[in-house]
Amino acid sequence: MKTRVCRLHGQNDLRIEEIPVEGPAAGEVLVAVGAGGICGSDQHYYSQGGIGVIRVREPIILGHEAAGTIIELGEGVEGFAVGDRVAMNPSHPCGTCKYCTSGRPIHCLQMRFKGSAIRLPHEQGLFRDRVAIGAGQCHKIVDGITIGEAACSEPLSVCVHARSRAGDLKGKAVLVTGSGPIGALCAALAAEAGAAEVVVTDLQDVPLSVAAQMGATETINVARNGERMADFTSEKGHFDVCFECTAAEPAIRSAIDALQPCGTLVQVGVSGDLPLPINFIVSKEITFRGTHRFDAEFGEAVSLINSRAIDLRPMITQTFPMEEAVQAIELAGDRSSAVKVQLGFAGV
């Protein structure tokens, strides 16, 4: 039996190919993939051949946001049945390095992450019709939740971890800079946590309209109404917490200006080296916190999806068949018309 895969051979060289189906081995399940979300890393691998110093050095199957239906159980698998719909956790720490054994598996020295070109050989991804994966990396999806929603478990996990870095948000004023998929999810999670105010900024109206549907109390198009942000800088600032999701210098500076003294800036967006206004971070006693990936938060994210405590449907703006993966990846970077773009696979 063979399966179609979405495999990148180099910059701007994405091909739909067929390869043999492997597994499931003992402890694994074979999943018929139903939906996969396109992430910024997939876009960078395709358009730039890598991310920063990480380069694609051999053909790699893209994709780390996916969900599907179990069609076969490997030896020894318990707790699952053929027909179960599952979200797949792409993160697989080793469990034995010094960070795993000290409760910090996010920083595992031998981390395996689906669809990543960090290591050689590359860790092959989830954009394929069939994939064998460890049963422990699968989380059941309840009836009534679409397979597209389930495929958003990974980015939601990233934001659940980011929220944990921010502290208690109940009654707080929260700023979210950038309203791509991660920004929209941070806004939704802030609202779910009881924030009194959730203000979201962006340069485009489409993602801001999605944020408004997902919990933002106010949205600001800073390209058209940048002066509104000045209202939040009087008396040394307004917000208790900012989730900075752009990694753009102007947005970071604006966030620091708008944070109250002793406020917290959670840096979610990732970029290269940027100058930071250290003098203002120091004088306002801003707590600057990084956040990276997730661990047990994947299960928490699936629970939030299963209960629809977080409704992801507004952010899924387009779905393309696998055959149109190039068009989908190119559209995913267009914030004037897309937020979360997904691929549809053969499923069952």
pLDDT-derived band at 276 (thresholds 50, 70, 90) equals confident
pLDDT for position 271:
79
The CB density around residue 64, as the number of other CB atoms within 10 Å, is 23
Mean pLDDT, residues 126-137 taken together: 98
Measured in degrees and rounded to the nearest 5, phi and psi for residue 171 equal 75, 5
Mean pLDDT, residues 173-193 taken together: 98
Which tens digits make up the pLDDT trace of 219-256? 999 999 999 999 999 999 999 999 999 999 999 999 99
Taking all residues of the chain, what is their mean pLDDT, rounded to a whole number? 96
pLDDT for position 283:
96
pLDDT for position 255:
96
Strands 65-73 and 340-344: unpaired
Alpha-carbon 348 to chain mean position: 25
Which tens digits make up the pLDDT trace of 224-234? 999 999 999 99
pLDDT for position 274:
82
Which tens digits make up the pLDDT trace of 74-120? 999 999 999 999 999 999 999 999 999 999 999 999 999 999 999 99
Q: Residue 23: is its pLDDT beyond 90?
A: no
With tokens 């966030």, the residue in question is: 255
- Residue 105 CA to residue 298 CA, distance in Å, equals 13
3-state SS, residue 257: helix
pLDDT for position 142:
98
pLDDT-derived band at 168 (thresholds 50, 70, 90) equals very high
**Contact by Cβ (8 Å): 4, 18:** yes
pLDDT-derived band at 180 (thresholds 50, 70, 90) equals very high
- Residue 204 CA to residue 195 CA, distance in Å, equals 24
Q: Which domains does the chain have, with CATH numbers?
A: 2-152+312-344 (3.90.180.10), 158-290 (3.40.50.720)
pLDDT for position 154:
98
pLDDT for position 348:
79
3-state SS, residue 16: strand
The CB density around residue 164, as the number of other CB atoms within 10 Å, is 15
Q: Residue 272: is its pLDDT beyond 80?
A: no
Which tens digits make up the pLDDT trace of 25-35? 999 999 999 99
Mean pLDDT, residues 142-164 taken together: 98
pLDDT for position 33:
98
- Start-to-end C-alpha separation, the chain: 15
pLDDT-derived band at 347 (thresholds 50, 70, 90) equals confident
Percentage of residues of the chain with pLDDT beyond 90? 95
